[in-house]
Amino acid sequence: MTKIVDMGNYEMHHPTEKLKGKVSNDGALSMEEIEKRVAQNMEKLTAEFLKGLSESIITVNGALTALGSREARPEDQDTIFRHAHDMKGMGGSFGYPIVGMIGTALSDLTDEKTKLAALNIPLIKAHMDVLRWIVDQKIKTEEDPRAAPLLAALEEAKSKL
Amino acid sequence: MTKNYNFTNLDILFVDDNKNMHLLIKSLLLAMGIIKSRGCFDPNEMFRIMQEQTPDVVITDLTMAPDNGLELIKRIRRGENNVDPYVPILVLSGHTDIATVIEARDAGATEFLAKPISVGSLYDRLVWMIEHPRPFIKAAGYVGPDRRRAMRGYEGLERRDETAQETDGSEGALISSGGAR
Protein backbone atom coordinates (compact mmCIF):
# COMPACT_ATOMS: atom_id res chain seq x y z
CA MET A 1 0.00 0.00 0.00
CA THR A 2 1.46 3.30 -1.06
CA LYS A 3 1.08 6.23 1.29
CA ILE A 4 0.48 9.43 -0.73
CA VAL A 5 1.05 12.84 0.82
CA ASP A 6 -0.29 15.94 -0.90
CA MET A 7 2.44 18.58 -0.88
CA GLY A 8 0.47 21.27 -2.68
CA ASN A 9 1.98 21.39 -6.13
CA TYR A 10 3.26 17.82 -6.06
CA GLU A 11 2.66 14.48 -4.34
CA MET A 12 5.07 12.51 -2.22
CA HIS A 13 4.55 8.75 -2.60
CA HIS A 14 5.86 6.29 0.00
CA PRO A 15 5.52 2.87 -1.65
CA THR A 16 5.80 -0.32 0.41
CA GLU A 17 9.49 -1.17 0.65
CA LYS A 18 9.74 -4.59 -1.00
CA LEU A 19 13.40 -4.89 -1.83
CA LYS A 20 14.80 -5.15 1.68
CA GLY A 21 12.31 -7.89 2.51
CA LYS A 22 13.66 -10.03 -0.33
CA VAL A 23 17.26 -10.14 0.94
CA SER A 24 18.99 -11.10 4.17
CA ASN A 25 22.45 -11.22 5.63
CA ASP A 26 22.13 -14.94 6.39
CA GLY A 27 23.89 -17.05 3.80
CA ALA A 28 25.41 -14.02 2.08
CA LEU A 29 28.34 -14.69 -0.23
CA SER A 30 31.57 -12.83 0.38
CA MET A 31 32.88 -10.59 -2.39
CA GLU A 32 35.91 -12.87 -2.61
CA GLU A 33 33.65 -15.84 -3.37
CA ILE A 34 31.61 -13.83 -5.88
CA GLU A 35 34.74 -12.68 -7.71
CA LYS A 36 36.02 -16.26 -7.77
CA ARG A 37 32.77 -17.38 -9.38
CA VAL A 38 33.00 -14.62 -12.01
CA ALA A 39 36.61 -15.52 -12.81
CA GLN A 40 35.65 -19.17 -13.40
CA ASN A 41 33.26 -18.16 -16.16
CA MET A 42 35.19 -15.24 -17.62
CA GLU A 43 37.32 -17.18 -20.11
CA LYS A 44 34.25 -18.51 -21.89
CA LEU A 45 32.57 -15.09 -21.85
CA THR A 46 35.67 -13.37 -23.21
CA ALA A 47 35.88 -15.87 -26.09
CA GLU A 48 32.28 -14.98 -26.98
CA PHE A 49 33.07 -11.29 -26.68
CA LEU A 50 36.04 -11.59 -29.08
CA LYS A 51 33.93 -13.59 -31.54
CA GLY A 52 31.27 -10.89 -31.42
CA LEU A 53 33.92 -8.22 -31.81
CA SER A 54 35.23 -9.86 -35.00
CA GLU A 55 31.69 -9.85 -36.38
CA SER A 56 31.34 -6.18 -35.41
CA ILE A 57 34.54 -5.33 -37.27
CA ILE A 58 33.16 -6.94 -40.44
CA THR A 59 29.88 -5.02 -40.07
CA VAL A 60 31.61 -1.72 -39.38
CA ASN A 61 34.01 -2.18 -42.30
CA GLY A 62 31.01 -2.88 -44.54
CA ALA A 63 29.33 0.33 -43.37
CA LEU A 64 32.60 2.22 -43.89
CA THR A 65 32.83 1.00 -47.46
CA ALA A 66 29.26 2.14 -48.02
CA LEU A 67 30.05 5.53 -46.51
CA GLY A 68 32.95 5.91 -48.89
CA SER A 69 30.67 5.32 -51.86
CA ARG A 70 28.49 7.87 -53.57
CA GLU A 71 25.37 6.60 -51.81
CA ALA A 72 26.47 7.31 -48.25
CA ARG A 73 23.50 6.93 -45.88
CA PRO A 74 22.95 8.11 -42.30
CA GLU A 75 22.10 4.50 -41.37
CA ASP A 76 25.70 3.50 -42.11
CA GLN A 77 27.01 6.17 -39.76
CA ASP A 78 24.52 5.02 -37.14
CA THR A 79 25.66 1.39 -37.57
CA ILE A 80 29.28 2.36 -36.95
CA PHE A 81 28.34 4.49 -33.95
CA ARG A 82 26.26 1.76 -32.33
CA HIS A 83 28.98 -0.86 -32.71
CA ALA A 84 31.61 1.62 -31.47
CA HIS A 85 29.42 2.49 -28.50
CA ASP A 86 29.07 -1.20 -27.62
CA MET A 87 32.85 -1.61 -27.82
CA LYS A 88 33.27 1.39 -25.54
CA GLY A 89 31.00 -0.12 -22.91
CA MET A 90 32.05 -3.74 -23.23
CA GLY A 91 35.81 -3.55 -23.70
CA GLY A 92 36.64 -2.87 -20.06
CA SER A 93 33.83 -5.11 -18.82
CA PHE A 94 35.43 -8.09 -20.60
CA GLY A 95 38.99 -7.30 -19.58
CA TYR A 96 39.93 -5.47 -22.80
CA PRO A 97 40.12 -1.79 -21.83
CA ILE A 98 42.07 -1.01 -25.02
CA VAL A 99 39.00 -2.04 -27.04
CA GLY A 100 36.97 0.34 -24.88
CA MET A 101 39.47 3.08 -25.67
CA ILE A 102 39.25 2.54 -29.45
CA GLY A 103 35.46 2.28 -29.15
CA THR A 104 35.36 5.63 -27.35
CA ALA A 105 37.43 7.28 -30.10
CA LEU A 106 35.23 5.74 -32.83
CA SER A 107 32.07 6.85 -31.00
CA ASP A 108 33.38 10.39 -30.86
CA LEU A 109 34.20 10.30 -34.58
CA THR A 110 30.76 9.05 -35.61
CA ASP A 111 28.27 10.42 -33.07
CA GLU A 112 25.23 12.48 -34.04
CA LYS A 113 27.14 15.73 -33.58
CA THR A 114 29.18 14.84 -36.68
CA LYS A 115 27.37 15.38 -39.98
CA LEU A 116 27.51 12.62 -42.59
CA ALA A 117 29.49 14.74 -45.04
CA ALA A 118 31.99 15.72 -42.33
CA LEU A 119 32.91 12.18 -41.28
CA ASN A 120 36.66 11.61 -41.24
CA ILE A 121 36.63 8.29 -43.12
CA PRO A 122 40.44 7.83 -43.30
CA LEU A 123 40.76 8.34 -39.54
CA ILE A 124 37.89 5.96 -38.82
CA LYS A 125 39.58 3.40 -41.09
CA ALA A 126 42.86 3.87 -39.24
CA HIS A 127 41.10 3.12 -35.94
CA MET A 128 39.49 0.02 -37.44
CA ASP A 129 42.86 -1.22 -38.71
CA VAL A 130 44.34 -0.84 -35.23
CA LEU A 131 41.32 -2.55 -33.70
CA ARG A 132 41.60 -5.50 -36.08
CA TRP A 133 45.24 -5.94 -35.15
CA ILE A 134 44.52 -5.64 -31.43
CA VAL A 135 41.84 -8.33 -31.65
CA ASP A 136 44.06 -10.64 -33.73
CA GLN A 137 46.90 -10.27 -31.23
CA LYS A 138 44.56 -10.43 -28.20
CA ILE A 139 46.07 -7.27 -26.77
CA LYS A 140 44.19 -6.22 -23.66
CA THR A 141 45.63 -2.92 -22.49
CA GLU A 142 47.43 0.09 -23.88
CA GLU A 143 50.34 -0.78 -21.58
CA ASP A 144 51.10 -3.84 -23.74
CA PRO A 145 54.40 -3.00 -25.51
CA ARG A 146 53.00 -4.33 -28.81
CA ALA A 147 50.24 -1.69 -28.69
CA ALA A 148 52.45 1.32 -28.09
CA PRO A 149 53.74 1.93 -31.66
CA LEU A 150 50.29 1.57 -33.20
CA LEU A 151 48.65 3.85 -30.66
CA ALA A 152 51.40 6.40 -31.24
CA ALA A 153 50.80 6.16 -35.01
CA LEU A 154 47.08 6.64 -34.40
CA GLU A 155 47.77 9.77 -32.36
CA GLU A 156 49.93 11.09 -35.19
CA ALA A 157 47.20 10.26 -37.71
CA LYS A 158 44.73 12.35 -35.68
CA SER A 159 46.81 15.45 -36.27
CA LYS A 160 47.28 14.75 -39.98
CA LEU A 161 43.98 13.29 -41.18
CA MET B 1 32.55 -1.18 3.60
CA THR B 2 29.50 -2.57 1.81
CA LYS B 3 27.48 -5.16 3.72
CA ASN B 4 27.08 -8.58 2.15
CA TYR B 5 23.58 -9.77 1.33
CA ASN B 6 21.99 -13.00 0.31
CA PHE B 7 20.36 -12.13 -3.03
CA THR B 8 18.92 -15.59 -3.79
CA ASN B 9 15.30 -14.42 -3.71
CA LEU B 10 15.77 -11.42 -5.97
CA ASP B 11 14.14 -11.37 -9.38
CA ILE B 12 15.97 -9.13 -11.84
CA LEU B 13 14.81 -8.12 -15.30
CA PHE B 14 17.36 -6.56 -17.64
CA VAL B 15 17.24 -5.13 -21.13
CA ASP B 16 20.18 -4.64 -23.46
CA ASP B 17 20.32 -5.07 -27.22
CA ASN B 18 23.75 -6.73 -27.16
CA LYS B 19 23.95 -10.47 -26.66
CA ASN B 20 27.40 -10.35 -25.08
CA MET B 21 26.15 -7.89 -22.46
CA HIS B 22 23.35 -10.37 -21.78
CA LEU B 23 25.87 -13.13 -21.14
CA LEU B 24 27.94 -10.87 -18.91
CA ILE B 25 25.05 -9.48 -16.84
CA LYS B 26 23.54 -12.94 -16.40
CA SER B 27 26.90 -14.31 -15.33
CA LEU B 28 27.58 -11.51 -12.83
CA LEU B 29 24.10 -11.87 -11.31
CA LEU B 30 24.50 -15.63 -11.08
CA ALA B 31 27.87 -15.22 -9.35
CA MET B 32 26.07 -13.04 -6.76
CA GLY B 33 23.60 -15.87 -6.17
CA ILE B 34 20.77 -14.35 -8.22
CA ILE B 35 19.29 -17.36 -9.95
CA LYS B 36 16.17 -15.63 -11.20
CA SER B 37 17.15 -13.11 -13.82
CA ARG B 38 15.38 -12.52 -17.08
CA GLY B 39 16.94 -10.75 -20.04
CA CYS B 40 15.33 -9.16 -23.05
CA PHE B 41 16.59 -7.34 -26.09
CA ASP B 42 14.17 -4.46 -26.47
CA PRO B 43 11.98 -2.28 -24.27
CA ASN B 44 8.72 -3.57 -25.72
CA GLU B 45 9.62 -7.15 -24.87
CA MET B 46 10.57 -5.98 -21.40
CA PHE B 47 7.21 -4.29 -20.93
CA ARG B 48 5.44 -7.48 -21.89
CA ILE B 49 7.50 -9.52 -19.41
CA MET B 50 6.98 -6.94 -16.65
CA GLN B 51 3.23 -7.29 -17.06
CA GLU B 52 3.49 -11.06 -16.53
CA GLN B 53 5.47 -10.75 -13.30
CA THR B 54 6.82 -7.64 -11.59
CA PRO B 55 10.58 -7.91 -11.07
CA ASP B 56 12.30 -6.62 -7.91
CA VAL B 57 14.78 -4.58 -9.95
CA VAL B 58 14.93 -3.48 -13.58
CA ILE B 59 18.32 -2.98 -15.22
CA THR B 60 18.38 -1.12 -18.50
CA ASP B 61 20.81 0.15 -21.10
CA LEU B 62 20.08 3.58 -22.56
CA THR B 63 21.19 3.21 -26.18
CA MET B 64 19.15 0.54 -27.88
CA ALA B 65 17.79 0.13 -31.37
CA PRO B 66 15.11 1.09 -32.27
CA ASP B 67 13.87 2.38 -28.89
CA ASN B 68 15.84 4.00 -26.14
CA GLY B 69 16.10 3.35 -22.44
CA LEU B 70 15.02 6.83 -21.36
CA GLU B 71 11.61 6.35 -22.93
CA LEU B 72 11.35 2.93 -21.29
CA ILE B 73 12.02 4.46 -17.85
CA LYS B 74 9.37 7.15 -18.42
CA ARG B 75 6.82 4.54 -19.52
CA ILE B 76 7.46 2.50 -16.38
CA ARG B 77 7.17 5.57 -14.14
CA ARG B 78 3.87 6.45 -15.81
CA GLY B 79 2.69 2.94 -14.90
CA GLU B 80 1.81 2.19 -18.50
CA ASN B 81 -0.16 -1.05 -18.95
CA ASN B 82 -0.38 -1.37 -15.15
CA VAL B 83 3.29 -2.12 -14.54
CA ASP B 84 4.64 -1.22 -11.08
CA PRO B 85 5.77 2.43 -11.42
CA TYR B 86 7.82 2.22 -8.22
CA VAL B 87 10.14 -0.60 -9.32
CA PRO B 88 13.81 0.33 -8.74
CA ILE B 89 15.53 1.01 -12.08
CA LEU B 90 19.29 0.75 -12.49
CA VAL B 91 20.74 2.26 -15.66
CA LEU B 92 23.86 0.66 -17.15
CA SER B 93 25.27 2.92 -19.83
CA GLY B 94 28.39 3.58 -21.84
CA HIS B 95 27.37 7.24 -21.98
CA THR B 96 29.34 8.45 -19.02
CA ASP B 97 28.96 12.22 -19.35
CA ILE B 98 27.12 14.04 -16.60
CA ALA B 99 24.45 15.31 -19.01
CA THR B 100 23.39 11.70 -19.69
CA VAL B 101 23.34 10.89 -15.99
CA ILE B 102 21.08 13.89 -15.42
CA GLU B 103 18.84 12.84 -18.31
CA ALA B 104 18.50 9.36 -16.82
CA ARG B 105 17.77 10.78 -13.39
CA ASP B 106 15.16 13.17 -14.81
CA ALA B 107 13.51 10.30 -16.67
CA GLY B 108 13.05 8.58 -13.29
CA ALA B 109 16.04 6.23 -12.96
CA THR B 110 16.85 5.09 -9.44
CA GLU B 111 20.59 4.56 -9.93
CA PHE B 112 23.19 4.89 -12.67
CA LEU B 113 26.21 2.68 -13.33
CA ALA B 114 28.67 3.60 -16.05
CA LYS B 115 30.08 0.87 -18.30
CA PRO B 116 32.53 -0.79 -18.14
CA ILE B 117 30.99 -2.67 -15.27
CA SER B 118 32.46 -5.07 -12.74
CA VAL B 119 30.82 -7.48 -10.36
CA GLY B 120 31.90 -5.21 -7.48
CA SER B 121 30.32 -2.08 -8.93
CA LEU B 122 27.08 -3.88 -9.83
CA TYR B 123 26.87 -5.44 -6.35
CA ASP B 124 27.52 -2.03 -4.80
CA ARG B 125 24.62 -0.43 -6.69
CA LEU B 126 22.20 -3.22 -5.74
CA VAL B 127 23.19 -2.87 -2.08
CA TRP B 128 22.75 0.91 -2.32
CA MET B 129 19.22 0.51 -3.69
CA ILE B 130 18.36 -1.92 -0.89
CA GLU B 131 19.77 0.26 1.88
CA HIS B 132 18.69 3.66 0.56
CA PRO B 133 15.11 3.43 -0.71
CA ARG B 134 13.72 6.80 -1.79
CA PRO B 135 10.18 8.15 -1.71
CA PHE B 136 8.66 9.07 -5.05
CA ILE B 137 7.67 12.46 -6.36
CA LYS B 138 4.69 12.83 -8.66
CA ALA B 139 4.55 16.29 -10.19
CA ALA B 140 3.45 17.85 -13.45
CA GLY B 141 6.83 17.42 -15.08
CA TYR B 142 8.33 14.51 -13.21
CA VAL B 143 7.50 11.09 -11.80
CA GLY B 144 10.25 9.15 -10.06
CA PRO B 145 12.47 8.82 -7.02
CA ASP B 146 12.99 11.99 -4.97
CA ARG B 147 15.86 13.76 -6.74
CA ARG B 148 16.85 15.69 -3.66
CA ARG B 149 18.52 12.53 -2.44
CA ALA B 150 21.67 11.62 -4.32
CA MET B 151 22.26 8.69 -6.62
CA ARG B 152 25.16 6.44 -5.67
CA GLY B 153 28.43 7.47 -7.24
CA TYR B 154 27.48 11.07 -7.98
CA GLU B 155 27.41 12.79 -4.59
CA GLY B 156 28.68 16.31 -4.70
CA LEU B 157 27.78 17.10 -8.28
CA GLU B 158 25.06 19.55 -7.56
CA ARG B 159 22.84 21.32 -10.00
CA ARG B 160 20.42 24.01 -9.01
CA ASP B 161 17.32 24.47 -11.05
CA GLU B 162 15.21 26.93 -9.18
CA THR B 163 12.30 26.79 -11.61
CA ALA B 164 11.93 23.05 -11.26
CA GLN B 165 12.39 23.29 -7.52
CA GLU B 166 9.45 25.65 -7.27
CA THR B 167 7.18 23.56 -9.42
CA ASP B 168 7.76 20.03 -8.24
CA GLY B 169 9.86 20.38 -5.14
CA SER B 170 12.16 17.56 -6.13
CA GLU B 171 15.03 19.41 -7.68
CA GLY B 172 18.03 20.37 -5.64
CA ALA B 173 20.88 18.22 -4.54
CA LEU B 174 21.63 15.91 -7.32
CA ILE B 175 23.41 12.81 -8.19
CA SER B 176 26.56 11.34 -6.92
CA SER B 177 30.01 10.09 -7.81
CA GLY B 178 32.65 7.58 -7.04
CA GLY B 179 31.13 4.60 -5.50
CA ALA B 180 32.64 1.35 -6.54
CA ARG B 181 33.69 -1.06 -3.85
Rounded distance, CA B70 to CA B75, Å? 9
Looking at residue B168, what is its pLDDT? 53
Domain-located, residue B39: yes
A7, A28, A90 member nearest B6 (Cβ): A28
Looking at residue B155, what is its pLDDT? 65
Looking at residue A127, what is its pLDDT? 96
Which residues, at least 6 apart from B120, have a Cβ–Cβ distance to it below 8 Å?
A31, A35, B180, B181
Angle made by CA atoms B96, B98, B99, in degrees to the nearest 5: 105
User: Can you list the alpha helix ranges (DSSP code H) found in chain B?
Assistant: 19-31, 43-52, 69-77, 98-107, 119-131, 162-168
* ipTM entry: 0.89
Chain A neighbors of B167, CB-CB under 8 A = 9-10
The nearest alpha carbon in chain A to B129 belongs to A19
- The answer to whether the CB of A81 falls within 8 A of the CB of A110 is yes
What is the tally of structural domains in chain B?
1
Question: Does the pLDDT value for residue A66 go beyond 50?
Answer: yes
Every domain of chain A and the residues it spans: 48-160
Chain A neighbors of B10, CB-CB under 8 A = 22-23
Domain-located, residue B105: yes
Kindly report the length of chain B: 181
Closest CA to B63 of B115, B118, B126: B115
Domain-located, residue B140: no
Domain-located, residue B101: yes
B117 in contact with A, Cβ within 8 Å: yes
The nearest alpha carbon in chain B to A53 belongs to B20
B58: left (phi over 0), alpha (psi -120 to 50) or beta: beta
Instruction: Walk along chain B (181 residues) and give the pLDDT tens digit of each residue.
Output: 678 999 999 999 999 999 999 999 999 999 999 999 999 999 889 989 998 899 999 999 998 877 789 999 999 999 998 999 999 999 999 988 899 999 999 999 999 999 999 999 999 999 999 999 999 999 999 999 999 877 887 765 444 444 444 355 555 433 333 333 3
Looking at residue B65, what is its pLDDT? 72
Instruction: Report the DSSP beta bridge partners of residue A3.
Output: A14
Rounded distance, CA A96 to CA A99, Å? 6
Domain-located, residue B145: no
Instruction: Report the DSSP beta bridge partners of residue B13.
Output: B38, B58
Tell me, what DSSP letter sits at residue B148?
A: T
Domain-located, residue B107: yes
Domain-located, residue B103: yes
* Mean pLDDT of the residues in chain A: 94
CATH number of the A48-160 domain: 1.20.120
Domain of residue B86: give its range: 11-135
- Between residues 27 and 66 of chain B, which touch chain A (CB distance below 8 Å)? 27-28, 30-33, 56-57, 63, 65
DSSP B57-90: EEEE-SB-SSSBHHHHHHHHHTTGGG--TT--EE
Identify the CATH number of the domain in which residue B89 sits.
3.40.50.2300
What distance separates the 2 farthest-apart alpha carbons in chain B? 45
